[in-house]
Chain A
Amino acid sequence: MTHSDLSDVQVRVRALESALVAGGHVDPAALDALVETYETQVGPHLGARVVARAWLDEAYRERLLGGATAAIAELGIRGRQGEHMVALENTPTVHNLVVCTLCSCYPWSVLGLPPVWYKSAPYRSRAVSDPRGVLADFGVTLGSEVSVRVWDSTAEVRYLVVPMRPAGTDGWDEARLASLVTRDAMIGVGVPSGAQTPSRPGSRL
């Protein structure tokens, strides 16, 4: 995008906001509050807590897999673009990957706003037709024994990937485990950041 184009967009945005505020259609303080929410409050640290809890607490894990929206709400996490959550558990033989080919639906309530690549044409086009190629773009290689399950978010259901717990984390508490859970791992294009070796034999993820 050229500089002059960007200026055009900025001018349009300012003109629209001015008109909406001047006409009393929008409360400027509400706009600030909305921005502040997604800049400082909502983000992948929320999903990481959910994943870490599932790793630690077998009963919670079962509730999460059986009804994610309620299980996530137990931790006080809920809201827009997370009204209908489904948790997808990775295993040594199944790897889950989430996309929205039609727009860019994303579980805001647990991951915050999506990164640009998630909204980009390369990801949206290839995640469903060449998921292993997409994973390779992220440096992730799956063994041939691992099948990939791609979830195209074509309705109002939002998906959260529960990655496998890394080996060597026995005895870690929830906060320490959560620190390993990256945003990319919860979309399915990464692995927990501390994962040197898989938690179970036979997997190369």
Chain B
Amino acid sequence: MTDGRISIEQLTGWLLEFARLVTEHRDELTTLDAAIGDADHGTNMERGMSAVVLGLGGDTVGALCKQAGMTLVSTVGGASGPLYGTFLLRFGSSAGDATELSAAQFAAAMRAGLDGIVSRGKAEREDKTMFDALAPAVEALEAGAGGSLVEALRAAAEAADKGRDATVEMLARKGRASYLGERSIGHQDPGATSAALLVRAAATTLA
């Protein structure tokens, strides 16, 4: 990742695009959650991201993302509110006062966000959560350190989609889906699905 830096406007665009995708896929997210959860993931994410969009702003990447994270924490509730909220708060902390991010800084911020999710929710690989879409994406970004940003983001989006698809066969061990035991197998995780949208939004807006 040597070409290009990511501006604060692009990061703003990323969150806007994620909000758009969440609204576009709201019913799909809720339907996935109906199958193995409580049928609110699309509503939750749309409520949160609409509020984020209304409050977007900040002079630094840190301020932008912390503001967005706080908004998620204080409007979403449920499991996804603290998790996505913590993701953005840690992302913002990692980026700090920067007004643009190098590809490497972006990857590091994504890693920090992912670590935040893990420290809040204790998810591990193959627990069938958003982690399973986000973690491969972050790894792809880190692995792409030597190539182009466009390439790295495309690889991340592909990794996230693959990770999301892989949740279908997993037996849930975190969140509501874990109550279903074996019956959780065969269903795609809603949080992994929204996480893949977050990465896809990055691929279309940041390069």
B partners with A: no
- Name A's B-contacting residues (CB within 8 A): none
